[in-house]
Every structure is written in C-alpha cells, then in structure tokens.
Structure 1
C-alpha cells in the first residue's frame, strides 16, 4: 500500500539557525511554496526526491501534528558521498559530531553512521551504505 516517504514536517523554534543548518551544513535546497490552511507561503528543504516542510513553533499550519515539538525528531539520511567526506565537511563548517562513525542497521542494508544535532536538538544520523 505505501511506496515511499514524500515529505515530513519539522517544527523549529529557531528558524534562521534551522535554515542555516539544513542548507549550509547539510547542503539541502531551501524552497518556498504556497500551502496549508489557509494557503500561505511556506518553506521546505529539498534533497533528492524528498523534502522536509518547515513549521515555526507557535505558527504551525493546519493540519498539523497534535503536539508539534522542536527537538523530537530522530532522522537518518543516506549521504550522496563517502562518509569520510561528510566528516571532513562537518569539520570545515565547525559542526560537532556527537557519535560515530559506527555500524548500524538501515532500512535495506548495514550502514556506517555519524550523529549530529540540529539547532533544535533533533538527532540527525548521516550514513553511508556499507558495501
């Protein structure tokens, strides 16, 4: 019945820091679009064939999660480059790695992962598929 994830919604309490992290640190593209109820301008981070829609705490769009809360996500992203290059980039932009690298179990195979936190303290896992 379900084929794939199209998007998810991230609630932030720190809009500018959040945008900086997902664009400068993780390399996602920021886009604006019209959506929600009532229709208003919104923001999203695009990467691959997916996106993360952005809600600002206290200014969420309807419909929304029952308890939209900054810092409640635990996300895993598969990198488009070797994890060594990801680590080098994070060091260049002075973003701390809190754990890893280490082996984990991904959705389809073993993955080698590192962990960072975004400005809202969401746990972000960045991985490469183990071959």
Structure 2
C-alpha cells in the first residue's frame, strides 16, 4: 500500500536559520513552495518541510521533537570531519544500529532546535 516517504515536517524556531543550517551542514537545498508561503529543504527525491509553532493546526508539533535518520553518500569519517569543520558536536558514534534495509553505522548530533539527526551508512 505505501511505497515511500515524500516529505516530513520539522517544527523550528526560525525557518531561515534552519534552512541555513541544513544547507551548510548537510548540503540540502532550501526551497520555497505554496506560492511563497512555505519553506523546505530538498535532498534526493525527498524534502523536509519546515514550520514554526502554530503554522499547522492539524498536528501536535513541538520544537526539537524531531528524530531523523539520513543515509549519507560520504564515508562516515568524512561526514564526521565535515561536522567538526562546521562546528557541530557529534553526540554519539559511529555506532551500529538497525536501519530500514539492514545494519547501519550512525553518527548522532542535534540541529539548532534540538532535533536529533542521525547520519548513517550501510554497515
């Protein structure tokens, strides 16, 4: 019935700051949609929509409650070096975890709003 994820939504305090962080640290592309009223981050064939508290009344959003696992093209040692160069503290890793298609090695850090970001490679 379900084939893949199209997008997910993160609730942030400052959309422009979030776009700048994800573009600088993870190479995502900032995009604007919905006639200029909404913002997102594009990567691969997916996107992360960004919202502030109160923008979407249908959900129970909270700032910093996101927990994402992203698969990297780069080796994890290169990702770790890039994170360090970007001033991002690695909270954990590399550690072995279980991904959607099998074992993965992961690094963990947070974005400026406290959302937990896991960057992984197949083990």
What stretches of structure 1 of length at least 5 have no aligned partner? Answer: none
Tell me if the contact between 1:45 and 1:52 (Cα under 8 Å) persists in the aligned partners. Answer: yes
- Report the Cα distance in structure 2 between the residues aligned to 1:9 and 1:61, rounded to whole angstroms: 10
Tell me if the contact between 1:100 and 1:113 (Cα under 8 Å) persists in the aligned partners. Answer: yes
- Report the Cα distance in structure 1 between the residues aligned to 2:9 and 2:34, rounded to whole angstroms: 15
> Normalising by the residue count of structure 2, what TM-score does the alignment of the two structures yield?
0.93
3-state SS, counterpart of residue 116 of structure 1:
strand
Q: Is it true that 1:30 corresponds to 2:26 in the alignment? A: no
2:15 is matched with 15
Tell me if the contact between 1:112 and 1:129 (Cα under 8 Å) persists in the aligned partners. Answer: yes
Q: Is it true that 1:99 corresponds to 2:92 in the alignment? A: yes
1:50 is matched with 46
Structure 1 moving runs of 4+ over 2 Å: 14-17
Q: Is it true that 1:69 corresponds to 2:62 in the alignment? A: yes
- Report the Cα distance in structure 2 between the residues aligned to 1:128 and 1:29, rounded to whole angstroms: 21
Over the residues paired in the alignment, what is the CA RMSD in angstroms? 1.4
Aligned residues: 123
* Bigger radius of gyration: 1
Tell me if the contact between 2:19 and 2:40 (Cα under 8 Å) persists in the aligned partners. Answer: no
- Deviation at 1:17? 2.7
- Deviation at 1:13? 1.1
1:43-66 C-alpha deviation (Å, 9 max, x unpaired)? 1100001000111223x146x31x
> Normalising by the residue count of structure 1, what TM-score does the alignment of the two structures yield?
0.88
3-state SS, counterpart of residue 44 of structure 1:
strand
What stretches of structure 2 of length at least 5 have no aligned partner? Answer: none
- Report the Cα distance in structure 1 between the residues aligned to 2:17 and 2:47, rounded to whole angstroms: 18
